[in-house]
Amino acid sequence: MVAGAVLEPGRLLLAQRRYPPEVAGKWELPGGKAEPGESPEAALRRELAEEIGVSVTVGAALRESVALRDDLMMIALRARIEAGVPHPAEHEALQWVDAAQLRAMLDAGRLVPADTVWVPELLADLGP
């Protein structure tokens, strides 16, 4: 699994999940599963095109990774929009957040639990 930290100066794109019930309504870094033989970078570009309707340049990975299951790791890659305006094709909604908003969403339990490991790194990227 590869998730995208879509960043612009001072803000990060979050996507609100529709399913499964335990995380429906919570916010995540959008992304998905790599197909056989597909690199994480290519998988993220494809998933963000499908889910958000943007083409991105993929940058450095976040340091943390998450074990979703024994056999399924999730990494996050930074990404920058090259073309397109984000649109929620598969999510309930999209939202740009700054550092204060991200921290408030973490504190309020509004993020998908697995994605909370990335918040410290994302806050550092976003600045004050």
Question: For residue 43, what are its two tokens?
Answer: 């998988």
From 22-30, 57-65, 80-88, 95-103, give the range in contact with ligand C5P by CB under 6 A.
Answer: 22-30
* Residue 111 CA: distances (Å) to CA of 40, 46, 52, 85: 23, 23, 18, 23
Q: Judged by CB under 6 A, does residue 23 bind ligand C5P?
A: yes
Instruction: Enumerate residues 82-121 that contact ligand C5P by CB under 6 A.
Output: 112, 114-115
- In angstroms, the CA 80 to CA 59 distance is 8
Nearest distance, CB of residue 24 and ligand C5P, angstroms: 10
Q: Which two tokens stand for residue 42?
A: 């290519």
Under the rule (CB under 6 A), what is the footprint of ligand C5P? 1, 3, 23, 28-29, 31-33, 68, 112, 114-115
